[in-house]
Amino acid sequence: MLTKKYNHPLFGEIVITKKSGNKNIRLTVSPSKGIRVSVPFFTSFSRAGDFVNEKEKWIIATLEKHHEKLQSRIIPLGEGNDLPLIGNRIVYHKISRREKKESINIRYYTDYTEINFPEGCNREAIMKATVMVMKKRASLYLPARCKEIAAVHGFCFNRLFLKNNKTNWGSCSNKGNINLNIQLMRLSPELADYVILHELCHLKYHNHGASFHKLLNSLCDGKEKELASQLRKNSTSSLTVI
């Protein structure tokens, strides 16, 4: 396999890969991986570049669709834009310069958490405070909920880790460890339970074969496809400070 990168004048970096098993030129456009072209081994790199130019309109349309999809999933944060969490919510309050507060202050209450930030505070600091709150709330909810669901369905996992991943809602290792994304706190309790069940089922089946889906569907009362469809409408990295 041979790989070459080149900068397209319109689309930027494009990755071209030659594979011996390919019979046709394949073009993919991904928000995370960018534009990639896979060609038969004896096809020239210049032919791959010409193919990109031929598909210019399609690439532009596809990029626009990806952008619109990402925009539709954005969850704005800031004053007037609360962030609902399972069993809680984050409320944002901008402190005026007259109050002479220079740092972010977090206050935890039973039903909500308040993030007070000074006027002119940078977005990164507000996002960092938001993630801090989500980690705390996740630590109070997800481990207990995972143990509860595992006990009900007879699963036994090794250790549980909470992470703030950008690409997945959860995972299960070969050692029987469960990883859950703190972003699950933004979902409905039903969807969070679905993700937990999904990872617990991987304790028995370390793949996505028919047996895995049959087990997961039975534990979801026959709603696996419906819940999976709902989950795809959410993103692990859609929070944006405005």
Reported for 129-132, long-range contacts at CB under 8 A and 24+ positions apart, including other chains, are 129/104, 130/77, 130/83, 130/90, 130/239, 130/241, 131/164, 131/182, 132/106
* Residue 195 binned pLDDT confidence (cut-offs 50, 70, 90): very high
* Residue 100 binned pLDDT confidence (cut-offs 50, 70, 90): low
* Residue 141 binned pLDDT confidence (cut-offs 50, 70, 90): very high
**Cβ proximity of 166 and 143 under 8 Å:** no
3-state secondary structure 22-43: CCCCEEEEECCCEEEEEEECCC
Per residue in 131-140, pLDDT tens? 999 999 999 9
Instruction: For the chain, give the percent of residues with pLDDT over 90.
Output: 63
Among 15-29, 96-110, 147-161, the range of highest mean pLDDT: 147-161
Tell me the C-alpha distance between 157 and 178, whole Å. 7
Question: Phi and psi for 169 in degrees, rounded to 5?
Answer: -85, -20
* Residue 101 binned pLDDT confidence (cut-offs 50, 70, 90): low
Where in the chain is CATH 3.30.2010.10? 77-241
CATH superfamily of 77-241: Metalloproteases ("zincins"), catalytic domain (3.30.2010.10)
Per residue in 206-222, pLDDT tens? 999 999 999 999 999 99
Q: pTM above 0.85?
A: no
